[in-house]
Amino acid sequence: MELKRVVVTGLGALTPLGKTVSEYWDGLINGVSGAAPITRFDASKFKTQFACEVKGYDPEQYFDRKEARKMDLFTQFAMVVADEAVKDANLMDESLSKDRIGVIWGSGIGGLRTFQEECVNFANGDGTPRFNPFFIPKMIADISAGHISIKYGFRGPNFVTVSACASATNALIDSFNYIRLGMADIVLSGGSEAAVTEAGVGGFNALKALSERNDSPETASRPFDKDRDGFVLGEGAAAIVLEEYEHAKARGAKIYAELIGGGMSADAYHITAPHPEGLGARNVMLNVLKDARVQPEAIDYINVHGTSTPLGDVGEAKAIEQVFGDHAYKLNISSTKSMTGHLLGAAGAIEAVASILAIQNGIVPPTINHLTDDEQFNPNLNFTFNKAQEREVNYAMSNTFGFGGHNTSVIFKKFVE
């Protein structure tokens, strides 16, 4: 069968760099770090005492108090960005068939704060089982898609993908497939995460995954730098409206870019460590190129997973050289996690937005905090260190990898009718 074209017609973002898409993009191209001491709890006894929190977030700016109490923070974040994207794409047009609009979301953990609070309250009580009646619907990872569909009446495909840090990109790929197979006209996709909690920071500290650079949080996330010592935990969300091209054209929708391919693979190696030779990363990039039907030489920019961990950055760089050959030295590579931190299950969503805006604006966001070269990386690779670079971006690839060995990648293309 002939597959339908899929375009991007709306965006929303709530990140450590800003509470709208425009604020987020301004922070990216200006190389702003979103890292700072943790404010959500007293982190003074933790090995890591900083994170990339959403700054100045007040739920009462978006919800009434009663409504907000029914939602974990990760769902609140999802609702905020969904609203920005719905308005951007004009999805409340009464002429649209809501039976043909879906919501496919991503979250790696879901309501961690809610789960933690309810367990602590029970443990501190007298043993009588007193739990919030909204405990389960606040905690479960799928509830964000449910809340979004209920608010807007979207009755198409509705679910949440969970694949650790690859979750949001998996959601985008599923949305892409549902549309190009003719099973939906529009899908509101993306991801949200709110894991800056005692359990989140403590758990990742126990894994020795987080940077412990407490004396300099703003420079702690330093992908591809010799002195990188782990990732910086982030929080937030992003939403992307994907739409069948002819449907978008017929209603005169604004088109940001075209999504042309999605790829998936597994490392099949270790529950938390990446394959040392980047095997899964190599395979997922080959898979997405094949699905998009483009040659490696077409790619101008890769928004890499680039978490700032000692092993992960090396494996991904090796994979890029294996897949792209000599072209690897002609394209721009950057890790926007150097600024936003790692949003776990929402990472793929905010990084897809960055890739789309790089195409639209002809600017590649930087990898900030590069201070010392690491001999493990080929000096001919252009990591877009420290400062944004202007270049025409016709094709952008976005990679996300997750614990469990899950690898996902998508390719966006500059829209041409």
pLDDT per position as a tens digit, 86-96: 999 999 999 99
- CATH 3.40.47.10 residue ranges for the chain: 7-250, 263-413
* pLDDT tens figures, 374-388: 999 999 999 999 999
* pLDDT tens figures, 255-311: 999 999 999 999 999 999 999 899 999 999 999 999 999 999 999 999 999 999 999
Q: What is the pLDDT of residue 106?
A: 98
DSSP three-state, residue 271? coil
Residue 109 in this model has a pLDDT that exceeds 80: yes
Q: Yes or no: is domain 263-413 CATH 3.40.30.10?
A: no
* pLDDT tens figures, 138-154: 999 999 999 999 999 99
pTM, two decimal places: 0.97
Distance CA(192)–CA(73), nearest Å, equals 9
- List CB contacts of 62: < 8 A, sequence separation 6 or more: 68, 76, 79, 80, 83
Averaged pLDDT of the chain: 97
Q: Give the mean pLDDT of 22-27.
A: 98
> What topology does CATH give the domain 7-250?
Peroxisomal Thiolase; Chain A, domain 1 (3.40.47)
* pLDDT tens figures, 71-86: 999 999 999 999 999 9
Q: Are the CB atoms for 349 and 106 separated by under 8 Å?
A: yes
Residue 417 — very low, low, confident or very high, per pLDDT cuts 50/70/90? confident
Spot the catalytic one: 81, 165, 237, 248: 165
Task: Check if 165 is active-site.
Answer: yes
Three-state secondary structure of 341-356: CECHHHHHHHHHHHHH
* pLDDT tens figures, 319-366: 999 999 999 999 999 999 999 999 999 999 999 999 999 999 999 999
